Chain A
């Protein structure tokens, strides 16, 4: 049974998510990493259409801990990461935010929907849409992401993933 939180708390969480979106779109990826707890998980499950009684997917598309997220960010900082040379322009639109109480007293569960447009070079682009399920944890008076699940609405990715959601 989920219990929604009070209005002020919801505003606070929304503000956190919007600020995070701006950090991503300003390509401040080291600052973005700081928004995650040290034990954070970042998951992108495989979306597929299955019928009848079959085994679940053997592996998600992405299953990162904070170190792997750091690897992804630092890879782009090497200067040799072609897929982000030049860096993509992104616009993260976040909406449909619902905030519920989390499993721990200092945590909340947050559902949101997103649309991300990625534009590169002259005309290369991708549209990404889906929903996120975040677990945010109160740390030193602010919020951090302890767990993020990104449900991309695509069974075939429109391009390789080299941006963050």
Chain B
């Protein structure tokens, strides 16, 4: 690409400092520091053939073609969503035999159902006869599923149990055992969180999600040592522009956007209304903490799927004290509980030099986003970002609270979820707006090659306290975004 003065096209951004100034892609700069010149991602090469060149996570450079190109999207369905271990729900959603929820794995509709024997099944929501959708509801309790086209019926375990006029029409020759609903290849219940994969030869769950990631997930997200989580029924869903990866990279580690620009209106509100003495849940929420906070990373780095935890509060009592002060207003039960769980967390960190207390945001690769929001006085968010074409996704959200929390805490914690990081809250819509703008700015193929900048804390990833599973590094950071794209690239290159 050459620059022609005064034509108004292809003009480099003159105001950028030299280190990040756009140059010919044949000599791309690293997002941080300098890097050797690399081969140019030619315009003639298809994006899927040039992925290694345009997903240069090591230098913090990833070209946006992967968020727009339809071919990337198609290949991604096979190589990422058909192979990954994907979260499909929580066992709390299907407590009794016959309970089911519907969800998606990538773009594939699935039914998560507890069968008569109490086993949780994940079935493709598609009739084996001629492909009709067999379940039309978001959730329910049933004895089986009957197709509306020719009336084949299926048990809770997916087995074909009947076909109308079977004896007369099929003359006893229909091999019912072979014509059940398609089950996914494998299902794992990890402390209540349900994972499924379509891939029979997928890595074992324990190597997909390595021990470090499982430690954080079990203890800090699912709060297993504290008595686990309890779910509020009902999917809260919204459509949003933007490739699913854009929002997932945001959750895995973009703590930069929170205080720098995206959510400042919310933070200003907290300040303003607190000063006026207005006390409603989202306003009395601890918007920040004094003292150390880290970017937590687990998995990735060649050890399975990456999991990121943003704003991990560790060796820092300020939030515990904040929670305690709030609990005092809620009554002695709340105080006892806040103190009890603090002790449990200290026990968990026994013998370790670092004592974690809470986390803000997170993601389990590829698309299970999490919000811990600093504090148990705020419900835990689970947000699935389902792909819906290259430039659109859907958020499917559910809320959980710690099961052993007193009711006053649960009530407060729940309100904060719906007033904040939620499709109708005062936080999430500002994220959605950014994705809308990114799509408008990035749609033309002309704009797909100039890489995005993922250089935050590049080379400083492990400058944090040692001794916990995974890694704690400086915050904000883009270490987890780099790991996200590294793993994504690995999956995309496995043909």
Contacts and interface: CB of A to CB of B under 8 A. Distances in A.
A57 B139 CA distance: 10
Interface string B131-147: 00000111111100000
Interface residues on A, range: 35 or more
A159 B432 contact: yes
Interface stretch (B61-69, B79-87, B264-272, B468-476): B264-272
A68 B279 CA distance: 10
Contact of A46 (B99, B141, B234, B394): B234
Given A56-B233, A155-B138, A162-B429, A82 B262 contact: yes
B428 A160 contact: yes
Contacts of A57: 232-234
Contact of B265 (A54, A62, A81, A159): A81
A80 interface: yes
A149 interface: no
A97 to B, nearest CB: 25
B35 interface: no
Contacts of B98: 52
A156 B418 contact: no
Interface stretch (A8-16, A31-39, A69-77, A105-113): A69-77
A49 B394 contact: no
B146 to A, nearest CB: 12
Given A49-B137, A83-B430, A74 B240 contact: no
B188 interface: no
Interface string A16-47: 00000000000000000000000000001010
A1 interface: no
Interface residues on B, range: 35 or more
A57 to B, nearest CB: 4
Interface string B433-447: 110100010000000
B140 A54 contact: yes
A29 to B, nearest CB: 14
A75 B394 CA distance: 25
A85 B272 CA distance: 20
Contacts of B141: 51-54
Contact of A83 (B241, B272, B429): B429
Interface in B72-114: 98-99
Interface in B390-444: 394, 399, 414-415, 417-419, 422-424, 426, 428-430, 432-434, 436, 440
Instruction: Pick the most buried of A52, A59, A160: most chain B CB atoms within 10 A of its CB.
Output: A160
Given A68-B419, A160-B432, A78 B139 contact: no
Contacts of B234: 46, 48, 57-59
B140 A78 contact: no
Contacts of A60: 418
Contact of B426 (A46, A67, A72, A124): A72
A75 B266 contact: yes
Contacts of A100: none
Interface string A120-158: 011010000000000000000000000000000001111
Contacts of A46: 234, 236
A152 to B, nearest CB: 10
Given A52-B141, A62-B418, A75 B424 contact: no
B205 interface: no
A159 B238 contact: yes
Given A49-B136, A59-B399, A156 B239 contact: yes
A44 B136 contact: no
B190 interface: no
A52 B142 contact: yes
A59 B418 contact: yes
Contacts of A160: 238, 240, 423-424, 428-429, 432-433
B22 to A, nearest CB: 25
A158 B239 contact: yes
Nearest to A79: B265
A76 B272 CA distance: 13
Nearest to A161: B424
Contacts of B307: none
A78 B268 contact: yes
B283 interface: yes
A139 B243 CA distance: 50
A157 B99 CA distance: 25
A158 B233 CA distance: 21
Interface in B326-356: none
Contact of B237 (A75, A78, A157, A161): A157
B325 interface: no
Contacts of A52: 98, 140-142
Given A50-B139, A159-B238, A122 B440 contact: yes
A53 to B, nearest CB: 5
B409 to A, nearest CB: 15
Contacts of B238: 156-160
Contacts of A53: 141
B280 interface: yes
A54 B436 contact: no
A80 B283 CA distance: 17
17 contacts: A50-B137, A51-B142, A54-B99, A54-B141, A59-B414, A61-B423, A62-B424, A78-B272, A80-B268, A81-B430, A122-B440, A124-B440, A156-B238, A158-B239, A159-B238, A159-B239, A159-B432
Given A59-B414, A161-B424, 12 more contacts: A44-B424, A49-B138, A50-B137, A50-B140, A52-B98, A68-B280, A78-B265, A78-B268, A78-B272, A121-B440, A157-B238, A160-B429
User: Top 4 closest A-B pairs, CB basis?
Assistant: A58-B232, A51-B140, A160-B429, A57-B234
